[in-house]
A and B are shown apart, each in its own frame.
Chain A
Amino acid sequence: MTARDLVAHVARFSRALREASVRTSLSDEVDAVEALSRVDLSDRDEVRRALRISLKIGPREAEAFDALFERWWSAAEARRREPRPDPPKPIPVKRPGRVPEPARAPRELEVERPQGDAPSWSREAVLRRKAFDECGPAELAAMEALVSRLVLRLATARSRRLVPTRGRGRVDPRRSFRAAVATDGEFLRLARRARAIEEARLVVLCDTSGSMDPHVRFVLAFLLALKKAARRTELFAFNTSLVRLTPWISAGKLRPTLERLSAAVPGWSGGTRIGECLMEFVSRHRDEMVGPRTVVVVVSDGLDRGETDLVGKAMRAIRSRARRIVWLNPLLSDPRYEPTAKGMAAALPFVDVLAPAHNLESLERLLPLLAA
């Protein structure tokens, strides 16, 4: 086989991989050609290994890759035209050792006392535990006030990164030395660094279908309050289609905002197609909105009328970018509930934290998980 043949083969194989949704880039192909030129091309296993190494095939893609390679190898000599393999089914891959624990954790927390600096007077205590669907308008207003105090904690979470500060923190010799140059070598003021305050970045995808109706109002109220502390919060609503709500949210009172929102969302309280909506989010917004610091919050009961396969696929795509995925499921407050709804089950392997969201206390516990 000549070098030119090799390039053509690698390019075609790589295209077939992309069609089977295994990501490869041009630079990978260059690596692959170089790697193949250094191995024994008559040894099928060695060629497969060299390709896996140079095309950067991870464990999640390994199965799809191997299947395609087998087909390719046996077909390569027989015919020159490009085979068109069926795209393999998405493989639900559990991340090693991590899945069972977070899914269980929130339930165990259920019996814990409210956190740290929780105010102790009784009216607030009652409010914290009251299920949302039992609240009247006055209680709602009180809840709003409480939430906006809580979220301040979120806005002051510290990262481990050190950034220059005035006053407190540990001495930063590099900058101190620079500053001393201006004062003829005397250290009049020491520069310091301290742990940065990171602003939380949230993307919230909220299910507004009929089954979610009693809960969604309050979750939204919580999220609107969050928006004050974490200004980079993006809010989406979905039922049969996906709507970006961020432009509709403004600071101010909750009620008018909620009214504006329900006017903006078509089919509010209708059915749900979770998979299709999440896929739409992935293709249109993921790349710009989801990064390594972003926490993605999905608020849904997982009762899906659309294609469940899509739910897993979309969740995997989000998982690969996000720092964490939190799934709030109001049904979880019922101790008999098991996450067996088809949509929920498909999403579960990719969810870091599955938590209830039926009262203020449950939302409050989420705050540390939402911090950047």
Chain B
Amino acid sequence: MKEEIRAMQDAMERFGYIAEPEIATAVFLAKEMGKPLLIEGDAGVGKTEVAKVLARILDTELIRLQCYEGLDVQTALYEWDYPKQILRVRLGEDEGRSADEIESVIYSRDYLLERPILRAITRSEPPVLLVDEVDRADDGFEAFLLEVLSDFQVTIPELGTVRAERPPFVVLTSNRTREIGDALRRRCLYLYIEHPSLEKEVRILRARVPGASERLAAEIGRFVQALRARQLLKTPGVAESIDWAQALVRLHREHLDVETVERTLGCILKDRHDMADVGGEALETMVGEAVAMG
């Protein structure tokens, strides 16, 4: 493995992100090649976390744009501060200023509300721009994003073109609720994060929940891995197992038993049908196996 990639892996681990070689390589390449990184994977596998860790490694700001259906350019890019502009116009009239004077004032940076994308390209230190759950925005927004990501410049008719001196590091995440358009995908580097292996999950739990003993972490890991092997409606991710470990530490549990698991199952299963599916005898067997194998 190349030195720099191992260094990236170590740096990510220092900030609490246990990265497989795939993840470290993807982050390294995206950073070196100056390309956006598109991360896909199930909910809770740590997609968003990659952007957060990258921001901490580079010691820079993280700017987040959460996507949703109906997200429009005004919310993502910029908006004029209309109330402030109107007040300024009224004041200017009272002071007897000319229209040109007023106009040059109200269409200046002071009256511009920067939204995440504009903010990301106007910073002198390049930040990390996280475009979260891009699959939720509609395809019109995707086309707009494509334009911004290709030249990192934005044209504001009243002000002129704003260009990023140094382009931000861009991370896009998607839960694959719909397929991301080919053009956008081609513009990025691509990483698919799978659910972690048992060994990795235990390491993550140990890193993120220092209060959990080696034994508890291993039991949680085995139990959650067994859950993932079942056909569930909402498969628990690492985010859920971390939550669960934290809950168990708060409850001062050193190891799993059936009663504790029953009471805290809501930390990892978020669907009524899944709960019913796993309950009863199946649960006892799973807890038994998770504890016995240690």
Residues of A that sit less than 8 Å from B by CB: 25, 27-28, 31, 34-35, 38-40, 43, 45-46, 49-50, 52-59, 62, 95-97, 100-101, 159-162, 173-174, 176-177, 185, 195, 291-293, 320-321, 323
Q: Among the listed A35, A56, A58, A96, which residue makes an inter-chain contact with B29, where contact means beta carbons less than 8 Å apart? A: A35
Kindly state the separation between the CA atoms of A365 and B5 in the bound complex, as whole angstroms. Answer: 54
CB-based closest 9 A-B pairs: A160-B70, A56-B190, A173-B82, A40-B2, A160-B69, A49-B25, A53-B26, A292-B139, A53-B189
State whether the Cβ of B74 lies closer than 8 Å to any Cβ in chain A. Answer: yes
CB <8 Å contact, A46 and B82: no
Kindly state the separation between the CA atoms of A220 and B19 in the bound complex, as whole angstroms. Answer: 54
Q: Inside 8 A of A176's CB, which chain B residues have their CB? A: 82
A56 and B25 contact, Cβ closer than 8 Å, known pairs A40-B1, A100-B233: no
Q: Inside 8 A of A100's CB, which chain B residues have their CB? A: 231, 233
Q: Among the listed A39, A159, A323, which residue makes an inter-chain contact with B178, where contact means beta carbons less than 8 Å apart? A: A323
Measured CB to CB, the nearest residue on chain A to B195 is A96
CB <8 Å contact, B190 and A53: yes
Q: Among the listed A34, A39, A97, which residue makes an inter-chain contact with B235, where contact means beta carbons less than 8 Å apart? A: A97
Measured CB to CB, the nearest residue on chain B to A35 is B29
Q: Inside 8 A of A52's CB, which chain B residues have their CB? A: 22, 190
Kindly state the separation between the CA atoms of A55 and B21 in the bound complex, as whole angstroms. Answer: 17
Kindly state the separation between the CA atoms of A95 and B179 in the bound complex, as whole angstroms. Answer: 11
Kindly state the separation between the CA atoms of A321 and B192 in the bound complex, as whole angstroms. Answer: 20
Kindly state the separation between the CA atoms of A146 and B70 in the bound complex, as whole angstroms. Answer: 33
CB <8 Å contact, A177 and B80: yes
Q: Inside 8 A of A59's CB, which chain B residues have their CB? A: 40, 192, 194
Residues 27-86 of B at the A interface (beta carbon under 8 Å): 28-29, 32-33, 35, 38, 40, 42, 68-70, 72, 74, 79-80, 82, 85-86
Q: Among the listed A34, A54, A95, A174, which residue makes an inter-chain contact with B176, where contact means beta carbons less than 8 Å apart? A: A95
A174 and B79 contact, Cβ closer than 8 Å, known pairs A97-B233, A97-B234: yes
Q: Inside 8 A of A56's CB, which chain B residues have their CB? A: 38, 185-186, 188-190
State whether the Cβ of B232 lies closer than 8 Å to any Cβ in chain A. Answer: yes
A46 and B25 contact, Cβ closer than 8 Å, known pairs A31-B189, A185-B89, A292-B139: yes
State whether the Cβ of B284 lies closer than 8 Å to any Cβ in chain A. Answer: no
Q: Inside 8 A of B233's CB, which chain A residues have their CB? A: 97, 100-101
**Chain A at the B interface: SS class:** mixed
Kindly state the separation between the CA atoms of A355 and B133 in the bound complex, as whole angstroms. Answer: 30
Residues of B that sit less than 8 Å from A by CB: 1-2, 5, 21-22, 25-26, 28-29, 32-33, 35, 38, 40, 42, 68-70, 72, 74, 79-80, 82, 85-86, 89, 93, 138-140, 176, 178-179, 181, 185-186, 188-192, 194, 231-235
- Using A34-B33, A160-B70 as known contacts, list a sample of 15 further A-B pairs with CB atoms less than 8 Å apart, ordered by residue number in A: A31-B35, A35-B29, A38-B28, A43-B2, A45-B21, A53-B190, A54-B190, A55-B190, A56-B189, A57-B190, A62-B192, A97-B42, A159-B70, A185-B89, A292-B138
Kindly state the separation between the CA atoms of A177 and B86 in the bound complex, as whole angstroms. Answer: 9
CB <8 Å contact, A174 and B2: no
Q: Inside 8 A of B179's CB, which chain A residues have their CB? A: 320-321
Q: Among the listed B2, B32, B74, B186, which residue makes an inter-chain contact with A27, where contact means beta carbons less than 8 Å apart? A: B186
Shortest CB-to-CB span from A169 to chain B, Å, is: 13
CB <8 Å contact, A38 and B33: yes
Kindly state the separation between the CA atoms of A291 and B138 in the bound complex, as whole angstroms. Answer: 12
Q: Inside 8 A of B21's CB, which chain A residues have their CB? A: 45-46, 49
Q: Inside 8 A of B5's CB, which chain A residues have their CB? A: 39, 46
